[in-house]
Amino acid sequence: MILAGDVGGTKVHLSLYDFTGGRLHALHDKKYPAHGFDSLDAVVNKFLAGDDDIPATKKEDILAACFGLPGPVREGRLKLTNLPWTLDVRDLAKSLSIQHIFLINDLEANGYGISELAPESIFTLHAGDANAVGHRGLIAAGTGLGQALLIWDGKQHLPIASEGGHCDFAARSNREIALLEYLHQTLKGRVSWERVVSGLGIKNIYTFLRDVEKLNEPDWLRARLAAEDPNAVIGQCAEDGSSSICFETMKTFVSAYGAEAGNIALKVLATGGIYLGGGIAPKILKTLQNGFFTQAFLDKGRLSPLLQSIPVRVILDDTCALLGAAAYAEARASELSGRSERAASLQTV
């Protein structure tokens, strides 16, 4: 079995996999609130111990484990930004008694997961040249803004982790210039793309439109924002047309999202396509299709014809990072042990 983990600032999603006919097969998985534990070890041990929902798992049955994590992993070590955890692959191997353990960037894990996805788990937003091959780009708006480059080596795509979401935000319109000035003042300094294109970014844009542009916030909307998840409310009200300020918020959001996706496409020459990951995109497909994302994605001056040829696809499966972490763990473990669980599963078919 392979243990895979998708670790975020608010939750830890764990899953166990085996292989059937050369494909990953999920045995069981569970999500845990990250702030309810003082270490990743504690979360994993609780998962493996089992409960009323999932059976217990013996550690000796686990061939390898891999965890996708937000932030740069250096020499097997990472200090999480939004959790008081410092992870070291050597300490985890000892604590969990699992021989092969790997830590990789969460967007790197997503990159490995794309090839494991079923066709129905991908939505085409912009067709481009569907038959083209080459490098790919991955951009994922969620709690933060993750980015990765998927380098084509002639046989496969190799994910390269990036912290591009923390690059400086580039305003392109009068509204975005005013938004940049507003955020520069409220943040007391530089403004990154993550401050605009993320869950936090949606709130920032909404507040700017309400307080600076003075767009109307009706009483019913104010009450819902106080009682429910604000981003979910804003996205829903934008898609059903019940609120103009929510519509303008998401219009601004997807336009910035499209612009940065286009920037990545230019930087990596992503003839193989741009992929949108993260938790936000699948929930706002109607908004992504209203034209503002694609218009901003294509708006690259003399290079616009190049962007026209690049497909843009939305990842609908929220286990993509788990699949990628599991695939990475099996591949690396097979290199070290000389035995491939994936290959062995093909021989039993």
Please tell me whether residues 67 and 30 are part of one structural domain: yes
User: Residue 347: which pLDDT band, with cuts at 50, 70 and 90?
Assistant: confident
Q: What is the pLDDT of residue 103?
A: 96
Q: What is the pLDDT of residue 80?
A: 85
* Side chain identity, residue 51: D
* Side chain identity, residue 115: S
User: In the numeric block, which tokens belong to residue 34?
Assistant: 């990250």
Q: What is the pLDDT of residue 72?
A: 87
Q: pTM for this structure?
A: 0.93
Could you tell me which of 96, 125, 108, 141 has the C-alpha nearest to residue 278? 141
Range of the domain at 309: 120-316
Question: Percent of the chain at pLDDT above 90?
Answer: 84
User: In the numeric block, which tokens belong to residue 64?
Assistant: 């390898």
- CATH code for position 51: 3.30.420.40
Could you tell me which of 290, 292, 253, 105 has the C-alpha nearest to residue 169? 253
Please tell me whether residues 212 and 144 are part of one structural domain: yes
Quick: pLDDT tens for 194-229.
999 999 999 999 999 999 999 999 999 999 999 999
Please tell me whether residues 303 and 323 are part of one structural domain: no
Please tell me whether residues 95 and 134 are part of one structural domain: no
Find the radius of gyration of the CA atoms of the chain.
21
User: Residue 143: which pLDDT band, with cuts at 50, 70 and 90?
Assistant: confident
Quick: pLDDT tens for 164-186.
999 999 999 999 999 999 999 99
List 141's β-bridge partners, or say none.
145
Mean of pLDDT over the chain: 94
- In the predicted model, is pLDDT for residue 330 greater than 70? yes
Q: What is the pLDDT of residue 269?
A: 97
Q: What is the pLDDT of residue 312?
A: 98
User: Residue 349: which pLDDT band, with cuts at 50, 70 and 90?
Assistant: low
* Number of folded domains that form the chain: 2
Please tell me whether residues 107 and 183 are part of one structural domain: no
Quick: pLDDT tens for 271-305.
999 999 999 999 999 999 999 999 999 999 999 99
CA dist 246 and 118 (Å) reads 33
φ, ψ for residue 298 (rounded to 5)? -85, -15
Could you tell me which of 117, 123, 111 has the C-alpha nearest to residue 288? 123
Q: What is the mean pLDDT of residues 40-62?
A: 93
Please tell me whether residues 69 and 89 are part of one structural domain: yes
Please tell me whether residues 212 and 268 are part of one structural domain: yes
- In the predicted model, is pLDDT for residue 189 greater than 80? yes
Please tell me whether residues 84 and 160 are part of one structural domain: no
Please tell me whether residues 32 and 146 are part of one structural domain: no
- In the predicted model, is pLDDT for residue 348 greater than 70? no
CB 143 within 8 A of CB 153: no
- In the predicted model, is pLDDT for residue 81 greater than 80? no
List 7's β-bridge partners, or say none.
12
- In the predicted model, is pLDDT for residue 32 greater than 60? yes
Please tell me whether residues 301 and 183 are part of one structural domain: yes
Could you please report the per-residue DSSP string of 218-287?
Answer: -HHHHHHHHHS-HHHHHHHHHHHT--HHHHHHHHHHHHHHHHHHHHHHHHHT-TT-EEEETTTGGGGHHH
- CATH code for position 177: 3.40.367.20
Tally Cβ neighbours within 10 Å of residue 189: 8
Q: Is the dihedral of CA 330, 336, 339, 343 positive or negative?
A: positive
Please tell me whether residues 85 and 140 are part of one structural domain: no
Please tell me whether residues 307 and 325 are part of one structural domain: no
Q: What is the pLDDT of residue 40?
A: 94
